Structure 1
Amino acid sequence: MTVALLDVRNVSRRFGGLKAIDDVSFRLNEGEIVGLIGSNGAGKTTLVNLVTGHLRPSQGEISFRGQRVTGRKPHDLASKGLMRTFQIVQPFNALTALDNVAAAAMFAGGARSLSSAREQADAALSNLGISHCRDHLPVRMTLAERKRLELARAWVAKPKLLFLDEVNAGLNTGEIEGVLGMIRKIAAEGVAIVIIEHLMKVVKGLCPQLIVLHRGQLLASGPTDEVARNPSVIEAYLGTRGAAAMLGEEP
């Protein structure tokens, strides 16, 4: 069997008597773009926190690139190529946009000097359309610009797998289209991407594969059109109109 890029096996997480994630298993391969969907409280962010080391599973195993990484710290996983962004962006507020990205290039991107890191950061800011913000502190940037800054920091870290948590939250239609273009550019370099998203038009336009969580359990996974027709997914999350919109059909 081909070794998966990410292999999550029977992972659960309890908070006291609450089982936020319940025996979830899935595999991701190199270069895949996967949507992670489900209603509020379904466990999406908790699952990402488990995979990226921000939480430790109560049970189960996680392997990345063939190595067991269960319980590893986020900085260790980031250095191995497993990265994530946050729904609420978390830049270094005392650093300029350029040095925010340069810090990521130094830490996880293999830059051997500050000048090299800043060169990589400059290129990333340019590719993501925010080179005009290079000398700005994050507080001077718009939300859309800070979202792109978050993507730039992840990009220069040279990830193999990138989790994007609600990267479009709070953006208008034009800003969303811009961010999706950036995501496609990152994916074109062979980076596997998992995106948590509530906007079904984004999921349909970006994600060939879906993972659906419901009350902490894996409800369905597979090709997007197949999952959108799954009666359990329609009943628990999409509804008839939502499923029709994803499939491009009249409800």
Structure 2
Amino acid sequence: MTTTPLLQLDGLTRRFGGLTAVNDVTLSFGEGEIVGLIGSNGAGKTTLVNLVTGHLKPSAGRVTFAGRDITGSPPYRLARLGLLRTFQVVQPFAQLPARDNVAAAALFSGAAPDMASARDAAEAALLRLGIAHVADKLPPHLTLAERKRLELAKSLAAKPKMLFLDEVNAGLNSAEIDAVLDMIRSIAAEGVTIVVIEHLMKVVRGLCTRLVVLHQGALLADGPTDAVARDPAVIDAYLGARGAAMLEAAR
């Protein structure tokens, strides 16, 4: 981890009319961190990610990535800088085989200079994520777990420096979740910063060394997972006694 943050958010705010969805959030993320971003429904998690990754423009504040002011930059430019995300509801190109879905991500992110190189990158990403056998299949013919891995393969082929994973484990069984967690750890071990937007306590405890908690659009807590999980304000606003017990049991 470097002393200079890879990503810095300063006073990030987003208003929708009279509603403030994200309120004056200041955060920093270092290289190779695995950070959990949690909060109740409507807390502002997805809006915050959308602001950082260019899907929304902030009403106020600044986003700095790798020393560059990227506030309000469009997603394709951010992808070319190595700032990428997955989506909770995966939406691959249904008429393209899995290989070409991944190749498209490599090509349009600038990670591959031409289609031949993009397909090579796609093959490597599919192999690494254990789904090389579906390379020629269309996404509608894949299982949910395979589609989730396909989404991750697209990001991996784009050569990320930082990756936001939005509910990447939603709908998966315990064995599938464990496999995905191993993949995420291996990606982070290469120096990629990963932010996991998650509700599953098993994932948060087993994967994240740091937790960021949003509540009503504002930053409620930020620190080591164990310390944040025991914070009375976090228990009261988000976890509740049952959730805190589940997080403790997942250690």
Scaled by the length of structure 1, what TM-score is found? 0.96
Residue of structure 2 in register with 1:64 after alignment: 65
Structure 1: 5+ residue stretches without partners? none
Q: Does the aligned pair in 1 maintain the 2:202–2:250 contact within 8 Å? A: no
1:156 and 1:171 map into 2 onto residues whose CA distance is 23
- The offset of 1:109, in angstroms, is 4.9
2:114 and 2:64 map into 1 onto residues whose CA distance is 31
AA of the residue aligned to 1:11: L
Residue of structure 1 in register with 2:77 after alignment: 76
Deviates more, 1:72-81 or 1:175-184: 175-184
How far does the alpha carbon of each residue in 1:104-159 deviate from its partner, in whole angstroms, 9 at most, with x for none?
11122532222221111111101101111100111111111000000000001111
How far does the alpha carbon of each residue in 1:192-220 deviate from its partner, in whole angstroms, 9 at most, with x for none?
00000000111000000000001111000
When the two structures are aligned, how many residues end up with a matched partner? 250
1:52 and 1:164 map into 2 onto residues whose CA distance is 12
Q: Does the aligned pair in 1 maintain the 2:163–2:194 contact within 8 Å? A: yes
Residue of structure 2 in register with 1:41 after alignment: 42
Q: Residues 124-135 of structure 1 correspond to what in structure 2 (within 5 A)? A: 124-135=125-136
Q: Residues 226-241 of structure 1 correspond to what in structure 2 (within 5 A)? A: 226-241=227-242
Q: Does the aligned pair in 2 maintain the 1:96–1:136 contact within 8 Å? A: yes
Deviates more, 1:105-114 or 1:64-73: 105-114
Residue of structure 2 in register with 1:104 after alignment: 105
2:238 and 2:100 map into 1 onto residues whose CA distance is 41
Residue of structure 1 in register with 2:8 after alignment: 7
1:140 and 1:248 map into 2 onto residues whose CA distance is 37
2:23 and 2:236 map into 1 onto residues whose CA distance is 20
Scaled by the length of structure 2, what TM-score is found? 0.96
The structure-2 alpha-carbon separation of the partners of 1:249 and 1:206, relative to structure 1 and needing over 3 Å to count, comes to closer
Q: What secondary structure is seen at the aligned counterpart in 1 of 2:41? A: coil
Identity of aligned residues (%): 65
Q: What secondary structure is seen at the aligned counterpart in 2 of 1:91? A: coil
AA of the residue aligned to 2:83: L
Q: What secondary structure is seen at the aligned counterpart in 2 of 1:63? A: strand
AA of the residue aligned to 1:104: A
Q: Does the aligned pair in 2 maintain the 1:82–1:159 contact within 8 Å? A: yes
Q: Compute the RMSD of aligned alpha carbons.
A: 1.5
Structure 2: 5+ residue stretches without partners? none
Question: Is 2:19 the counterpart of 1:23?
Answer: no
2:71 and 2:212 map into 1 onto residues whose CA distance is 20
